[in-house]
Amino acid sequence: MKQKIFSLDLGNKTLKICVGEEDEQGKITILTKLAKNIESFNDGEIIDPEVFEEEVINTLKDVAYQIGEEPKNLLLSFISSHFQFQRAKGRVSLTERYVTDEDIKKCHLLAKASLASTSYEILFEEPAAYFLDNLNIKVREPLGMEARSLEVDFVIIQGLKSVISRIKDFFNKNGLKISLILPNPLPASFILIPKKEKEQGVILIDFGYRLFNLSIFQEGKLIYYQNLKFGLGEILEDLALDFSLSFDEMLHIFDEVKNYDEQKKKLKIKIGKQKITYHNFLKLIDKKFSFYWKKNGLNDLFKKIKENYRLPIGIYLIGAGSYLPEINLSFKKYFNYPIKVESDIYKNLNSEERIFLNAVGSIYYYQRLFQPKGFWDNLKELFFGLFR
């Protein structure tokens, strides 16, 4: 039976809505992609309930009406400075000779319990590695292995419970139940970065409108996650002030310049009362980026990253800031890593639709999270169950 999945990516400036349909064979088709500027949501919080209802809730209901189906599978993703990335360990002694599903679940629960807080809610969790019998040897899949004890290294991202609850309650009040909330840019990573590259070591940077996220993957797992409070908005606001323009005027210039073809790049850009070359405009952007690079301590941060992690694949760049003209050159100069600005591996999106990476990625993650176990997984559980 086909099912439709509704996915919202709540940005600090833009709402992205995607609707996917999963068929009987598990293939996903993206039916709808919609982007809309909003003013009612910032840094993970609803700042104007009435406007949020008009901008987000009513827009979602309009999309559902056009699709002809209620949004029962409703996914939400966003980014916030209050998200916390933590690692925890859990350890259990085995009662049987081989590691069982119950042992693994208990291990996970103990790890999460060590970080239990009445103020935070877990949005993402993942076992980074397992260890058997206190041996310092990583095991990816311990099920069925012979051991006396099992330990897990667990990765968790949490959000403020009061903020998450307020968002859920607002949707519930409008007759909409959220099935899953994910922290950006993790959804994008599921459809942007090939598994092989996550194994080798790679950085995903979401250069957003108000927040700058840095996520690192190694051995197929998330190992680092940090949000910094600066983004494209600060750069555009600075330029608007420099040229005595309103922010909307500067935003309009940015929207035009980012789509310049080679012929237009030879012309001068009118910014307020001045006219400057395209090349000088790029220099201004680079100067602003350099300022925030230093202000937020990115130079020292990346020195530590180079010392502690081997990341041969380099950086995947997404977010509103990835649309800045030739920003990949600035990134390569300051970060000293190879830079990729690409779309999804499933070819659902073209290069101009990269803003939908998180919304589409949530759909694929939701499918993976709730898909039934396959024949071989069930057979393996049955086999090891014979020895319990």
Read off the pLDDT band of 1 (50, 70, 90): low
CATH 3.30.1490.110 fits 84-160, yes or no: yes
Whole-number mean pLDDT of the chain? 91
pLDDT one-digit tens code per residue, 136-146: 888 999 999 99
Percent of the chain residues topping a pLDDT of 70: 95
Please check the confidence at residue 297 and state whether its pLDDT lies above 90.
Answer: yes
What integer is the mean pLDDT of 370-379? 50
CATH number of the 3-80+162-188+348-370 domain: 3.30.420.40
Q: Do domains 3-80+162-188+348-370 and 84-160 have the same CATH topology?
A: no
Q: Which residue has the higher pLDDT, 64 or 266?
A: 64
Per-domain boundaries in the chain: 3-80+162-188+348-370, 84-160, 194-344
Please check the confidence at residue 384 and state whether its pLDDT lies above 80.
Answer: no
CA dist 65 and 67 (Å) reads 5
Q: CATH homologous superfamily of domain 194-344?
A: ATPase, nucleotide binding domain (3.30.420.40)
Percent of the chain residues topping a pLDDT of 90: 81
What confidence score (pLDDT) does residue 189 get? 97
DSSP of 161-196, one letter per residue? Answer: HHHHHHHHHHHHHTT--EEEEEETTHHHHHHHS-HH
Q: Closest Cα to residue 348, out of 239, 192, 212? A: 192
What confidence score (pLDDT) does residue 262 get? 87
CA dist 269 and 283 (Å) reads 13
79 in Cβ contact with 206 (< 8 Å): yes
What is the H or E stretch that residue 131 is in? strand 120-132
Q: Best-predicted range by mean pLDDT among 68-72, 189-193, 270-274?
A: 189-193
User: End-to-end alpha-carbon separation of the chain, Å?
Assistant: 37
SS3 of 228, please? strand
pTM, two decimals, is: 0.91
